[in-house]
Protein backbone atom coordinates (compact mmCIF):
# COMPACT_ATOMS: atom_id res chain seq x y z
CA UNK A 1 0.00 0.00 0.00
CA UNK A 2 1.25 3.45 -0.83
CA UNK A 3 0.28 6.80 -2.22
CA UNK A 4 -3.31 7.89 -2.18
CA UNK A 5 -4.67 4.55 -0.93
CA UNK A 6 -7.01 5.75 1.82
CA UNK A 7 -9.09 2.56 1.81
CA UNK A 8 -6.40 0.51 3.54
CA UNK A 9 -6.07 3.15 6.27
CA UNK A 10 -9.85 3.41 6.64
CA UNK A 11 -10.22 -0.37 6.91
CA UNK A 12 -7.44 -0.57 9.52
CA UNK A 13 -9.14 2.17 11.56
CA UNK A 14 -12.55 0.49 11.32
CA UNK A 15 -11.07 -2.86 12.36
CA UNK A 16 -9.21 -1.20 15.27
CA UNK A 17 -12.43 0.32 16.60
CA UNK A 18 -14.31 -2.97 16.16
CA UNK A 19 -11.63 -4.86 18.10
CA UNK A 20 -11.35 -2.33 20.93
CA UNK A 21 -14.89 -1.13 21.64
CA UNK A 22 -17.45 -3.13 23.58
CA UNK A 23 -20.11 -1.84 21.19
CA UNK A 24 -21.07 -2.65 17.61
CA UNK A 25 -19.26 -0.58 14.99
CA UNK A 26 -21.23 0.18 11.82
CA UNK A 27 -20.02 1.60 8.52
CA UNK A 28 -21.53 4.78 7.06
CA UNK A 29 -25.09 4.57 8.41
CA UNK A 30 -27.06 7.79 8.94
CA UNK A 31 -28.88 7.14 12.24
CA UNK A 32 -32.56 8.03 12.10
CA UNK A 33 -35.80 6.73 13.53
CA UNK A 34 -36.00 3.99 10.88
CA UNK A 35 -32.42 2.74 10.97
CA UNK A 36 -31.57 2.90 14.69
CA UNK A 37 -30.68 -0.52 16.08
CA UNK A 38 -33.25 -1.91 18.48
CA UNK A 39 -33.35 -5.26 20.25
CA UNK A 40 -36.81 -6.09 21.61
CA UNK A 41 -37.70 -2.41 21.30
CA UNK A 42 -34.68 -1.22 23.30
CA UNK A 43 -31.86 0.74 21.71
CA UNK A 44 -28.49 -0.99 22.00
CA UNK A 45 -25.63 1.60 22.00
CA UNK A 46 -23.36 1.50 18.93
CA UNK A 47 -21.06 3.70 16.86
CA UNK A 48 -21.16 4.64 13.20
CA UNK A 49 -17.92 5.40 11.35
CA UNK A 50 -18.07 7.66 8.28
CA UNK A 51 -14.95 8.36 6.23
CA UNK A 52 -14.40 11.24 3.82
CA UNK A 53 -12.30 11.45 0.68
CA UNK A 54 -8.66 12.58 0.63
CA UNK A 55 -8.36 16.37 0.61
CA UNK A 56 -5.38 18.45 -0.43
CA UNK A 57 -3.25 19.77 2.41
CA UNK A 58 -2.21 23.15 0.98
CA UNK A 59 0.88 23.25 3.19
CA UNK A 60 2.42 20.08 1.73
CA UNK A 61 3.10 20.75 -1.95
CA UNK A 62 5.66 18.54 -3.68
CA UNK A 63 8.08 19.27 -6.52
CA UNK A 64 7.01 15.84 -7.82
CA UNK A 65 3.50 17.10 -8.60
CA UNK A 66 0.07 16.47 -7.12
CA UNK A 67 0.49 12.70 -6.84
CA UNK A 68 3.25 13.34 -4.28
CA UNK A 69 1.54 16.23 -2.44
CA UNK A 70 0.37 15.90 1.13
CA UNK A 71 -3.28 15.03 1.75
CA UNK A 72 -5.50 14.45 4.74
CA UNK A 73 -8.70 12.51 5.15
CA UNK A 74 -11.57 13.46 7.48
CA UNK A 75 -13.73 11.01 9.39
CA UNK A 76 -16.63 11.13 11.82
CA UNK A 77 -17.68 8.74 14.53
CA UNK A 78 -21.30 8.98 15.60
CA UNK A 79 -22.06 7.46 19.01
CA UNK A 80 -25.69 6.37 19.28
CA UNK A 81 -27.20 5.78 22.74
CA UNK A 82 -30.35 5.94 24.90
CA UNK A 83 -29.40 9.22 26.61
CA UNK A 84 -27.30 12.27 25.84
CA UNK A 85 -24.81 11.51 28.60
CA UNK A 86 -24.46 7.89 27.46
CA UNK A 87 -23.75 9.07 23.90
CA UNK A 88 -21.13 11.52 25.22
CA UNK A 89 -19.54 8.77 27.33
CA UNK A 90 -19.27 6.52 24.28
CA UNK A 91 -17.81 9.42 22.28
CA UNK A 92 -15.18 9.91 24.98
CA UNK A 93 -14.21 6.23 24.72
CA UNK A 94 -13.82 6.69 20.96
CA UNK A 95 -11.62 9.79 21.52
CA UNK A 96 -9.36 7.87 23.89
CA UNK A 97 -8.93 5.09 21.34
CA UNK A 98 -8.42 7.14 18.20
CA UNK A 99 -6.49 10.29 19.14
CA UNK A 100 -2.83 9.53 18.43
CA UNK A 101 -3.52 6.13 16.83
CA UNK A 102 -1.54 5.59 13.60
CA UNK A 103 -3.39 3.06 11.42
CA UNK A 104 -0.54 2.26 8.99
CA UNK A 105 2.70 3.51 7.45
CA UNK A 106 0.85 5.53 4.80
CA UNK A 107 -0.93 7.70 7.36
CA UNK A 108 -0.10 10.00 10.22
CA UNK A 109 -1.65 9.75 13.68
CA UNK A 110 -5.36 10.44 13.97
CA UNK A 111 -6.10 13.87 15.45
CA UNK A 112 -9.26 15.74 16.42
CA UNK A 113 -10.90 17.88 13.79
CA UNK A 114 -13.40 20.70 14.23
CA UNK A 115 -17.10 19.99 14.39
CA UNK A 116 -19.01 17.45 16.35
CA UNK A 117 -21.60 17.92 19.06
CA UNK A 118 -24.53 16.00 20.45
CA UNK A 119 -28.26 16.00 19.77
CA UNK A 120 -31.48 14.13 20.35
CA UNK A 121 -33.24 12.43 17.47
CA UNK A 122 -36.96 12.00 17.96
CA UNK A 123 -38.51 8.76 16.79
CA UNK A 124 -42.12 7.97 15.89
CA UNK A 125 -44.46 7.07 18.75
CA UNK A 126 -43.74 3.38 18.29
CA UNK A 127 -40.02 3.79 18.98
CA UNK A 128 -38.05 5.59 21.72
CA UNK A 129 -36.05 8.75 21.16
CA UNK A 130 -32.31 8.36 20.99
CA UNK A 131 -29.24 10.55 21.20
CA UNK A 132 -26.09 10.91 19.15
CA UNK A 133 -22.69 12.43 19.88
CA UNK A 134 -20.61 13.26 16.81
CA UNK A 135 -16.83 13.36 17.02
CA UNK A 136 -14.72 14.52 14.09
CA UNK A 137 -11.19 13.36 13.27
CA UNK A 138 -8.61 13.59 10.50
CA UNK A 139 -5.40 11.83 9.52
CA UNK A 140 -2.62 12.73 7.10
CA UNK A 141 -2.32 10.38 4.17
CA UNK A 142 0.00 9.85 1.20
CA UNK A 143 2.96 9.41 3.54
CA UNK A 144 4.41 6.72 1.24
CA UNK A 145 4.52 7.78 -2.38
CA UNK A 146 4.59 5.22 -5.22
Instruction: Tell me the pLDDT tens digit for each residue of 121-134.
Output: 766 665 667 888 99
Q: Where are the domains of the chain?
A: 6-141
pLDDT at 63 over 60: no
Q: Cα–Cα distances in Å, from 130 out to 35, 72, 78, 103, 134?
A: 11, 32, 12, 31, 13
Residue spans of alpha helices (H) in 34-83 = none
> What's this model's pTM, rounded to 2 decimal places?
0.82
Class of CATH domain 6-141: alpha beta
Q: Tell which residue, 71, 26, 73, 29, has the closest CA to residue 52.
A: 73
Task: Quote the percentage of the chain above a pLDDT of 90.
Answer: 36
Q: Tell me: the pLDDT tens digits for 7-54?
A: 889 999 999 999 999 988 998 776 666 667 777 777 888 899 999 888
Report the pLDDT value the prediction gives residue 49, as an integer from 0 to 100: 95
Amino acid sequence: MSGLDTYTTQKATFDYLTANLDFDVVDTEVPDADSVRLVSGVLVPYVVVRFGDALANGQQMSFGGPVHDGYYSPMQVISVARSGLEALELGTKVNKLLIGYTPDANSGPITKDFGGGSMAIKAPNSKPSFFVAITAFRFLTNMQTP
